[in-house]
Amino acid sequence: MPGGRRSGGEIEPVLASVAMRRLDRTLRSVANKDVPICLVGESGTGKEVLARRVHQLSLRSASPFVPINCAAIPEALFESELFGHERGAFTGADELARGKVEAAAGGTLFLDEITELPLAMQAKLLRFLESFRFTRVGGTKKIEADVRLVCATLRPLEQEVKRGTFRPDLYYRVQGITLAIPPLRERRADIPPLIAELTSMLSQRHGVAAPRVSRTAASSLRKYDWPGNIRELRNVVEQLCLLRSGKSVRLADLPEAIRAATGVGSASEPSRPLTLEVHLDRPLDDTIDDVIEAALSLENGNRLRAAHRLRIGVRTIQRRLART
């Protein structure tokens, strides 16, 4: 469901681009096959969102989806986090605790950043995946947990195997179907619908009126390479929702890094010309606003210099800005 929002406030994968539609077709074809899936992609590309999509499309969708960020758990606590512990297993273990594996029984266990697993835990994970049986820390009873494994990594697992940081036997057990998630710069068609969905979601979350993104600002957002991918885009949209609530987002409102990277409003190139598209089916008022906005961006928000550049009075710019 491209661009749809969940009740929990997270967006579904956006499938406007050819690359993401192709990926989704593959994902759909394997979601119901009970084999491990490994998602490979840069940070912020939405690996957990796609892992949830695998779960939702699978025969296990009525059972839990349990995510674990392997990089966020201290090594000493990982076994307990994964498999749970018995009362008295260690200092502070005052009661029995069920682990993530037990919580995911019948559903999907998502191991994000699986390459961060310590080698000792890799061996224990492999042992579990071979039989789907485990023992809680401090316990002796074997417990069964039928889970479907989805994992994610920033780097291809085979590279980590060659480096000696990932066990070859675990690699062969978890790689299953490997799906590469393209970065946002390689699927620019997804940027406008992502902005629309994030704007709607975040403005509702903060209780503010959604801002309106002008054509020229939207063009700049689409041209930017987004090294932080969807996570970075979300951060920028959230700032715009809070700072431009109910108003038009102009080029001058975008972060300097975006304006500089896309060749507009850069302090180092204040006189660089900007080309604007003119659409004859668009209201003249909107085109005039775009021209004023572009001039303001080129002059780093200085209204007097922008008015001089356009050969109009500064009050004309002030009046038009008061409308947005």
Residue indicated by tokens 């500064």: 314
Burial of residue 280 (number of CB atoms within 10 Å: 0-12, 13-18, 19+): exposed
Q: What is the pLDDT at residue 52?
A: 96
* pLDDT for 323: 66
Instruction: Just give the CATH number of 185-323.
Output: 1.10.8.60
Cβ–Cβ under 8 Å, residues 259 and 216: no
User: Domain 18-181's class?
Assistant: alpha beta
Tell me the C-alpha to C-alpha distance, in Å, between residue 65 and each of 107, 173, 180, 230.
6, 20, 21, 22
DSSP single-letter state for residue 181 = P
3-class SS at 214?
A: coil
Strand partners, 66: 109
Q: What's the confidence (pLDDT) of residue 303?
A: 82
Q: What is the pLDDT, as a whole number, of residue 306?
A: 83
pLDDT tens for the chain, residues 1 to 324: 334 444 445 677 899 998 999 999 999 999 999 999 999 999 999 999 999 999 999 999 999 999 999 999 998 889 999 999 888 878 787 888 899 999 999 999 999 999 999 999 999 999 999 999 999 999 999 999 999 999 999 989 999 999 999 999 999 999 899 999 999 999 999 999 999 999 999 999 999 999 999 888 888 999 999 999 999 999 999 999 999 999 999 888 999 889 888 776 544 444 445 566 666 666 777 778 778 877 776 776 778 888 888 888 888 888 877 765
Q: Do domains 18-181 and 185-323 have the same CATH topology?
A: no
Ranges of each domain in the chain: 18-181, 185-323
